Amino acid sequence: MKKFGYSVLLFFFTWVSVASGQDVDFRVSVRDVVAVGDQFRLIYSVNGQATGFRSPAIKDFTVLAGPSQSTSTSMQIINNQVSRSVEYTFTYILQATTEGTFTIPPASVNVDGKTYQSNPATIRVVKGNAPAPQQQQQQQQQQQVGDITDKDLFVRASVSNSNPYQGEQVIATYKIYTRVPVAEYSITKLPSTAGFWSQDLIKDMTKLNQYRETINGVEYVVAEIKKEALFAQKSGTLTIDPLEMDVVAQIQRKANRRGFNDPFFDSFFNDSFFGSTYQNVRKTIRSNPLNINVKPLPAAGKPSEFAGAVGSFSISSSIDKEQLKTNEAMTLKFTVSGRGNLKLMEKPNLVFPNDFEVYDPRVTDNITAAQNGVSGSRTFEYLIIPRNPGDFTIKSVRYAYFDIGSGTYKTLSTPDFKIKVEKGSGGESVVVGAGVDKEDFKMIGTDIRHIKTGRQELRPLNSYLISSPLFPLWMALPPVLLIAFILVWKNELRRRNDLALMRNRKATRVARKRLKAAELFMKQKNQEAFWVEVSNALWGYISDKFNIPRATLSMDSVNEALKNKNVKDELIDQFITALNNCEFARFAPGEKSQVMEQLYSEAIDVITNTEQQLK
């Protein structure tokens, strides 16, 4: 009988959850009363998979941030089948600037092909301190209780070697440890690396190295969020400041149900399928500082050829020709390979015969920044042109470096190259390069110079400009030019004082400059910087073109501004669609390379087409 009662209750609650989960609820929540200068949140939430969110025109408040999108999920059992419901939230951070009572119009959103509108939000702005609403006080009390502790979520910094030599490669790793689900994170303050040359080792931030690690008997999910190779440029104790980051974690909160003391009901209703909700909680965490004691390189045994290379290296050199004719070109390549501070290496001290004209080397890097550090090769390619025939020798070059493995200096050398130069066709060259420095030359066979030939122009003796009939015209020309310059300059000053006109003239140029920067970020796969530049290009174009402050820009103001200029409705829809796509793609999960290319093309098309219709 007891089991039958449990079954009836299970059926009852399952039926209630099915009946209550059918309607789409799109609502806005915000504080009723705020004070001048207060910063507060305006939150739109919808219990469905939302697309096409259109924000209202927020004119009476300063928009500090937003809309930022987040999602939360909950599980249900319907007819003995597990189903999942999703809630989307769109959050603004606003600041009150003037007293009064203001109403923010409804926002709209698409769910399953239908458009829904939220309720309007009415906010009263007063002087002094505004009373905190009861709901907000309860949330603050819940957060003060401490759902997330320093043992649940923290970030830790470590180095591969805390006592390296100057110039030695050291790998600094920043790991986040968590026992709670993390919805998103952002690094708000990068660690200062003063005294170091650094190289980032993590290229793709969307594919972090994750694993599990046990600390003091507690298992954590660990992700490496930052990893870089450091090369100390001076000795002594160097300190790297902490890394700071904001993390949004999802905390499961269970409803407080009373009236049941049965262990079955306690375990049943505490199950994740019933009575459990997830709340996003923001937490700021900091890593530990890093103190690195950098040892100076030993002075004993330092070769004269040493130029600062530290690591483990090998060298090679080659030439493409051993026999050639005068004024023909040959190439000498010198390559340094290994692991260490390759990007800080300077060109070798090669000595060439005076009869060779040598150009500055072209430097080619084949350097890889991987998880285990920086390695690869750097090649110096010299272009050489012999100017006189003969047998020449390019002497061996000695290259010294400090070997980390043995803690001693090592010197490597290349072989000598024998070059045979025969006389080429034509006359003998008159210029011989004086060593590697091409600014100094030796002139040969120049004791007798050529007689100057060509037609010579003659003029009468004692003929001056003042006696010319054109002299009065030349005297009147400067005042006329000065007056013309003053008129043009005054006209330009009037145009520059007209700020709206200047912004209108620069709108397209500024937008194209931002799109060009976005294209560069797209090639570098820097997604966050790409979305910022595309968004600034679209919103900035409208703001500059129609002299609308950025704080008052919205989809409605964009629509109104374009309609007032008789822009076609089809193009207006394309412009607003591009704005929406940019805002949502920025926060959407998954691979975005194809979306970036599509959105970049859309931005160029709508700005170009709009500019053509406005002319």
Query: In this structure, is residue 3 part of a structural domain?
Result: no
489 burial level (CB within 10 Å; 0-12, 13-18, 19+): exposed
* 136 and 158 fall within a common domain: no
| 346-373 residues labelled b (16+ CB within 10 A) or e (exposed) | eebebebbebbbbeebeeeeeeebeeeb
So what's the pLDDT on residue 335?
A: 92
Task: Look at residues 415, 413, 399, 198 and name the one whose alpha carbon lies nearest to residue 309.
Answer: 399
Last residue of a domain, one of 428, 443, 458: 443
* 287 and 337 fall within a common domain: no
Extract the residue ranges of the chain whose pLDDT is less than 50.
1-21, 77-80, 82, 132, 134-146, 255, 257-276, 427-447
Entry pTM: 0.45
Return the CATH number at 359: 2.60.40
* 137 and 157 fall within a common domain: no
So what's the pLDDT on residue 164?
A: 92
Reported for 429-432, long-range contacts at CB under 8 A and 24+ positions apart, including other chains, are 429/326, 429/327, 429/387, 429/388, 431/357, 431/387, 432/354, 432/355, 432/357, 432/387, 432/388
Q: 3-class DSSP state for residue 37? A: coil
CA distances in angstroms from 552 to 212, 545, 549, listed in the order given: 47, 14, 6
The string of DSSP letters for 449-464 reads: PPPP-SPPP---TT--
Query: In this structure, is residue 324 part of a structural domain?
Result: yes
* 272 and 383 fall within a common domain: no
| 85-122 residues labelled b (16+ CB within 10 A) or e (exposed) | eebbbbbbbbebeeeeebebbbbbbbbeeeebebeebe
Reported for 75-84, long-range contacts at CB under 8 A and 24+ positions apart, including other chains, are 75/272, 75/273, 75/276, 76/17, 76/18, 76/21, 76/273, 77/14, 77/17, 77/273, 78/14, 78/17, 78/18, 79/14, 79/18, 82/273
Query: In this structure, is residue 12 part of a structural domain?
Result: no
Query: In this structure, is residue 120 part of a structural domain?
Result: yes
Query: In this structure, is residue 482 part of a structural domain?
Result: no
So what's the pLDDT on residue 85?
A: 66
- Residues sharing a CB contact under 8 Å with residue 216, sequence separation 6 or more, in sequence order: none
- Residues sharing a CB contact under 8 Å with residue 383, sequence separation 6 or more, in sequence order: 329, 330, 331, 358, 359, 362
| Number of domains within the chain | 4
* 138 and 157 fall within a common domain: no
* 314 and 433 fall within a common domain: yes
* 259 and 318 fall within a common domain: no
Task: Look at residues 603, 509, 505, 495 and name the one whose alpha carbon lies nearest to residue 545.
Answer: 505
Range of the domain at 416: 309-443
* 430 and 515 fall within a common domain: no
For 252-304, the pLDDT digits (tens) are 665 454 444 444 444 444 444 444 456 788 889 999 999 999 999 998 888 88
Are residues 157 and 174 in contact, defined by beta-carbon separation less than 8 angstroms?
A: yes
* Rounded-to-integer distance, Cα 518 and Cα 278, Å: 36
The distance of Cα 561 from the centroid of its chain, to the nearest Å, equals 32
* 74 and 96 fall within a common domain: yes
Return the CATH number at 562: 1.20.120
Query: In this structure, is residue 19 part of a structural domain?
Result: no
Query: In this structure, is residue 493 part of a structural domain?
Result: no
Q: How many CB atoms lie within 10 A of CB 153?
A: 20
Query: In this structure, is residue 13 part of a structural domain?
Result: no
* 51 and 84 fall within a common domain: yes
For 369-422, the pLDDT digits (tens) are 887 888 899 999 999 999 899 999 988 888 889 998 888 999 898 899 999 999
Bridging pattern class, strands 61-78 and 81-96: antiparallel
So what's the pLDDT on residue 333?
A: 92
* 416 and 323 fall within a common domain: yes
Last residue of a domain, one of 109, 128, 145: 145
Bridging pattern class, strands 323-325 and 362-370: unpaired
So what's the pLDDT on residue 345?
A: 82
So what's the pLDDT on residue 73?
A: 60
* 524 and 599 fall within a common domain: yes
